Amino acid sequence: MTSERVVIVGGAIMGSFAAWSLRQQGFAGSITVVEKDPSYRLCSTALSAASIRTQFGTPINVQLSLYGVDFFRNITRHFGTGADIAYKENGYLILGGPDTVAARQAGVAMQRAEGADIIALSPDELTQRFPKMRFEGVGIGTFGQTGDGWFDAWSLLALVRRAARALGVSYVDAEASGLRIAGGQVIGVMLASGDVLPCDWCVNAAGPASAKLVKAIGIDLPVTPRKRTVFSFRAPISPNGFPMLFDTSGIWVRPEGTGFIGGIQPPADQDPDATGDFEPHHHLMQDPFWSLLAARIPAMETLRLERAWAGHYEVNALDHNGILGPHDLLQNLIFSTGFSGHGVMHAPAAGRAVAEWITGGGFKTLDVSALGWNRIRDKQPMPETVVY
């Protein structure tokens, strides 16, 4: 294995965790990470809301999150004394209407069976626990008592990149333009400069650009960049003890420093491929975000917007779930993409899975085969139902 070469396309959170995890699993060959934006200014990691939750509709996503929870709690064990990602377990509060009660209770039962610390709350219990909110039109709230929360994604990325480089991983500032195929294998990653990086393994961790990377070799990856705007604001309410709120209306809000951040997805018919577009959806702030926010949290009727930014979700249009593992025909091509907004929280587990496959030919820590390429090939979705 000392002579094998891995080339990872994408140097943000997914690619860097794959590279670092390969070394942790004993891979001694060369590892090269190709990243087109060495500043990481526009990468999905840096522009994300940097949250982690164990409330998902598919068991594998709960398992991936629980792995992340343990990883974040023990960040110094992985990256040394002083490693800090400002991880706060303030909880996720996800509200549902009266017509969702039975389904949400079943979801909580599944999540708890997987080991997540989730409870279901009635409207009266919600009012007692969160007195600053109104709960008209709510039939149930589910709350992650431990594990669920948020962290500093930039610090996490910096830690794992630094650790990977210290273990001999090379980062190349270049744009990958395609893959070179011969004998049913990926034999090289082509760069926009015209150079080719030879490889024995190729990991597609290119996030929103992952479909473009493989299109020319006939792989139809249903992953596109979709723009998501984050509003940063202050309001006359203390953020202390405030959870990450996912409302029935589609808005989300959580504390950030001494203020708050929040947002809402645009309507489906106004959510096109956002390649190259990072201009925030400013119009969503006034209507509907602010009005819906004030209806749920009256004190936030008065707020001061400080800034807004937009990042890209790498949305898997088939089922909003990640694509993780080898291609069926090009078996040295490994996917780690399409996580549809939950990639940052699942990066530690995804990186581990990629490393286990390359070093051992299978998944040991978590069986992530349900997220494999075959369901994409066969157009057999495994829908994730808890999507924001």
Compute the Cα dihedral for 161, 370, 60, 315 and give only its sign.
positive
> Does the pTM of the predicted model rise above 0.75?
yes
For the segment 86-91, the average pLDDT, to the nearest whole number, is 97
User: Is 70 among the domain residues?
Assistant: no
Question: What is the model's pLDDT at position 39?
Answer: 93
- The answer on 201 and 92 residing in a single domain is no
| CATH value at residue 240 | 3.30.9.10
- The answer on 196 and 243 residing in a single domain is no
Task: Give 180-205 pLDDT, tens digit per residue.
Answer: 999 999 999 999 999 999 999 999 99
User: Is 211 among the domain residues?
Assistant: yes
Task: Give 2-34 pLDDT, tens digit per residue.
Answer: 789 999 999 999 999 999 999 999 999 999 999
- The answer on 366 and 346 residing in a single domain is yes
- The answer on 373 and 229 residing in a single domain is no
Phi–psi pair at 372, nearest 5 degrees: -75, 170
What is the Cα–Cα distance from 379 to 229, expressed in whole angstroms?
30
- The answer on 167 and 20 residing in a single domain is yes
pLDDT at 325 over 80: yes
Task: Give 216-250 pLDDT, tens digit per residue.
Answer: 999 999 999 999 999 999 999 999 999 999 999 99
Choose the final residue of a domain: 311, 338, 359.
311
- The answer on 170 and 39 residing in a single domain is yes
For the segment 76-93, the average pLDDT, to the nearest whole number, is 97
User: Is 55 among the domain residues?
Assistant: no
Task: Give 293-313 pLDDT, tens digit per residue.
Answer: 999 999 999 999 999 999 999
User: Is 74 among the domain residues?
Assistant: no
* Residue range(s) defining the domain that contains residue 180: 5-49+154-222+318-377
pLDDT at 361 over 80: yes
- The answer on 171 and 38 residing in a single domain is yes
Choose the final residue of a domain: 311, 332, 352.
311
What is the Cα–Cα distance from 155 to 70, expressed in whole angstroms?
17
E strands, 220-318, in order? 223-234, 244-246, 252-256, 259-263, 304-316
Choose the final residue of a domain: 281, 311, 341.
311
332-346 core/surface letters (b: 16 or more CB in 10 A; e: else): bbbbbbbbbbbbbbb
- The answer on 131 and 232 residing in a single domain is yes
Task: Give 128-155 pLDDT, tens digit per residue.
Answer: 999 999 999 999 999 999 999 999 999 9
Looking up tokens 């209507």 gives 287
- The answer on 192 and 134 residing in a single domain is no
What is the Cα–Cα distance from 335 to 134, expressed in whole angstroms?
43
- The answer on 347 and 288 residing in a single domain is no
pLDDT at 1 over 70: no
The count of domains in the chain is 2
Contact predicate 180/195, CB 8 Å:
no
User: Is 287 among the domain residues?
Assistant: yes
| CATH value at residue 17 | 3.50.50.60
Question: What is the model's pLDDT at position 160?
Answer: 98
- The answer on 261 and 279 residing in a single domain is yes
- The answer on 211 and 99 residing in a single domain is no
